[in-house]
Chains A and B, each alone.
Chain A
Amino acid sequence: MDTEEKKSLLADTINEGEKDKAVKLLSDWASQFGYKETIFTVLEPLLIEWGKLWMQGKLSLAHGYLSGKVAEEFYLIASQSKEFLSSKKRSKGTIILGNIEDDFHPLGRRLVNIFSNAAGWNIIDLGNDVPAELFVEKAIENKADIIAVSAMMFTTAKNIIKVRNEIDKNGLTDKVKLAVGGAVFKLRPELVAEIGGDATADNAIDAPALFDSLLKKN
């Protein structure tokens, strides 16, 4: 079976909602050809392809979610394999990710996690309803390059100002960039600057490129 056939079979399996079967397929291929080969030639290209189709409205969010779950499980298995433990892919940098205080809309954040992880970033995901202080505390603890904060609504987006203040208060203004994202920033792009953000991306698939550009500025 060539790479295209593998991608096609994996896509069909995920389409059918068969998460465990999809993870098993990947694991079987990994045992024959290696984890990196499987990730770089089958899984990641499929994730990127599906991400683009999702953005064009040609795939459902459920497809994206399921492919993300498959990727999450397979990355976990891969990370515990000898192949990965012995020569782990060099991380581009560390990102502290989370939904801001009072925000409970995790979908965008989780997709950012999946796509950024796939692109080689070390993601520390703090989950929903994260206080500003914790973002910065974790950034210091993990020597993070970027804090990425998600908010869906205007009311919660305003809480991101506290993260900006914490970053500045701790003398990290030039060391840790603040990326922001969520539906409200698409509707009101001027809000990014208003709440002290350094940049935003329109969607999860564009997030890794945004992080790359922010890293260059650090």
Chain B
Amino acid sequence: MNSLERIMATITGEDADYQPFTLLLSLFGASLIKADTHEYYRNPNLWFEGQKAAIDIFDPDILITPFSITLEGEAFGSELVLLNKYAPNIKKPFITDLTQFDQLQAPDFDKSEAIQFLLKATDLIAEKYKETKAIAAPIASPCDTPALLMGVEMWIDTLLFNPKKVELILKKTTEHFVRFGNEYLARGASFLVIPVDITSAAIISEKIFKQLLPYFENTFNQIKGPIVIHSGGTKILPFLDRFAKLPNVIGCVLEHTEKFETARQIVGDKMVLMGNIDGSNFNKFSIEKIKEKTLEILNNRKNDKHFIFASSNADIPYDTPFETIQAVVDTIRNFKKY
């Protein structure tokens, strides 16, 4: 079985030759090739070189296109800051005053440096690996994107007090989401991964979530491929019952403290569950501890044919010892699931 066949088997619930896995190595690729992260997130060839190094060493079953949702914020006009040894972040949101709503334009794919980087990096990954590996493309959720454009506080304020503005801004972000998501798929992504850090119970209330749900339904329905919902860094279980029923959703990535048993009770036996080792803290694990944690997850999901081992939360940090990641991969490879 190659990786793609292994992932397909997991989706359909057939036996695979071994436990499939993926790790969020978007940033760690820079570490492997000793790249300056300022250039790494601007140069698709450099980013691809880093990913090739990661793939050659760790050989994950799912490859992930650049994980930097903030680049989409930049494409809309927010100011980005490129950081040393970290993924980029939003420095200054595009909208700092409600009157600026009207100036908001969906990104022009050809003119936006950020979008061009994301798409070209996807082309490079797809060209080399799409026949043998699954490719996941992270994309900002249409209802999380506004937080990249105005900050979390103003987005919450708008959701609470300005329903008309919510409609206006979501018109722009949903149009972008559908177009960009389908572009990723057309360029070779096998599925989209949608982090929902903002559309989570940690940030918004149940009442607000219900207001946003139709926007998810409408946009997901227009996506021409499968979708995986990602917890981002927050808990996904409180809204999972609704997310799981959205069009084209085939799986979800749990946050690292969430229980697979609870998720299974919510989504049933067929949906793909992914996670849930804490990827953003890989650099704090000892080798023994990370082996133990990996085994704990693998044993927990031993009888689950719709399970893909994955790192949860954000990128595996730049300064993670190589041996730590290798220990996770070796533990997975040596695990007798079938």
Would B160 and A107 count as touching, CB distance under 8 A? no
B residues touching A (Cβ–Cβ < 8 Å)?
81, 83, 86, 89, 91-93, 96, 151-153, 156-157, 159-161, 201-205, 207-208, 235
Would A106 and B205 count as touching, CB distance under 8 A? no
Q: Known: A57-B235, A66-B160. Contact between A17 and B207, CB under 8 A?
A: yes
Would B203 and A60 count as touching, CB distance under 8 A? yes
Q: 1/0 per position for A86-110, CB-CB distance to B under 8 A?
A: 0000000000000000101111001
Quick one: which of B91, B153, B204, B235 contacts A107, CB cutoff 8 A? B153
Would A17 and B205 count as touching, CB distance under 8 A? yes
21 A-B residue pairs with Cβ-Cβ distance under 8 Å, sorted by A, are: A17-B207, A17-B208, A60-B204, A60-B205, A61-B156, A61-B203, A61-B204, A62-B204, A63-B205, A65-B160, A66-B160, A69-B160, A102-B91, A102-B92, A104-B151, A107-B153, A128-B96, A153-B89, A153-B91, A154-B83, A155-B91
Q: Known: A65-B153, A104-B92, A110-B153. Contact between A17 and B160, CB under 8 A?
A: yes
A19 within 8 A of B: yes
Q: 1/0 per position for A52-90, CB-CB distance to B under 8 A?
A: 000001001111011001000000000000000000000
Q: Known: A65-B160, A153-B89. Contact between A15 and B152, CB under 8 A?
A: no
> Which residues does chain A contribute within 8 Å of B91, judged by CB atoms?
102, 104, 153, 155-156
A16 within 8 A of B: yes
Would A62 and B203 count as touching, CB distance under 8 A? yes
Q: Measured between alpha carbons, how far is A69 from B89 in the docked complex, in Å?
A: 28
> Which residues does chain A contribute within 8 Å of B204, judged by CB atoms?
60-62
> Which residues does chain A contribute within 8 Å of B92, judged by CB atoms?
102, 104
Quick one: which of B86, B89, B153, B160 contacts A19, CB cutoff 8 A? B160
Quick one: which of A102, A104, A107 contacts B96, CB cutoff 8 A? A104
A17-B205, A60-B202, A65-B160 known; 14 other A-B pairs, CB under 8 Å?
A15-B205, A16-B207, A19-B161, A60-B204, A60-B205, A61-B152, A61-B204, A62-B159, A62-B203, A62-B204, A104-B96, A153-B81, A153-B91, A154-B86
Q: Measured between alpha carbons, how far is A66 from B92 in the docked complex, in Å?
A: 24
With most chain A CB atoms within 10 A of its CB, the pick from B83, B91, B161, B204 is: B91
Closest B residue by C-beta to A105: B151
Q: Known: A15-B205, A60-B201, A62-B159. Contact between A155 and B152, CB under 8 A?
A: no
Q: Measured between alpha carbons, how far is A61 from B91 in the docked complex, in Å?
A: 21
Would A65 and B156 count as touching, CB distance under 8 A? yes
Would B151 and A62 count as touching, CB distance under 8 A? no
With most chain A CB atoms within 10 A of its CB, the pick from B92, B153, B203 is: B153
Q: Measured between alpha carbons, how far is A16 from B89 in the docked complex, in Å?
A: 33
Interface residue ranges of A17-47 to B (CB < 8 Å): 17, 19
Closest 6 interchain pairs by CB? Answer: A107-B153, A61-B203, A104-B92, A62-B205, A62-B204, A65-B156
The minimal Cβ–Cβ distance linking B286 to chain A, given in whole angstroms, is: 20
Would B96 and A155 count as touching, CB distance under 8 A? no
Quick one: which of A60, A65, A153 contacts B83, CB cutoff 8 A? A153
Q: Measured between alpha carbons, how far is A60 from B157 in the docked complex, in Å?
A: 13
Closest A residue by C-beta to B204: A62
Would A65 and B151 count as touching, CB distance under 8 A? no
With most chain B CB atoms within 10 A of its CB, the pick from A62, A65, A69 is: A62
Q: Measured between alpha carbons, how far is A217 from B202 in the docked complex, in Å?
A: 36
Would B93 and A65 count as touching, CB distance under 8 A? no
Q: Measured between alpha carbons, how far is A153 from B83 in the docked complex, in Å?
A: 10
> Which residues does chain A contribute within 8 Å of B205, judged by CB atoms?
15, 17, 60, 62-63
The minimal Cβ–Cβ distance linking A196 to chain B, given in whole angstroms, is: 21
> Which residues does chain B contribute within 8 Å of A19, judged by CB atoms?
160-161
Q: 1/0 per position for A146-169, CB-CB distance to B under 8 A?
A: 000000011110000000000000
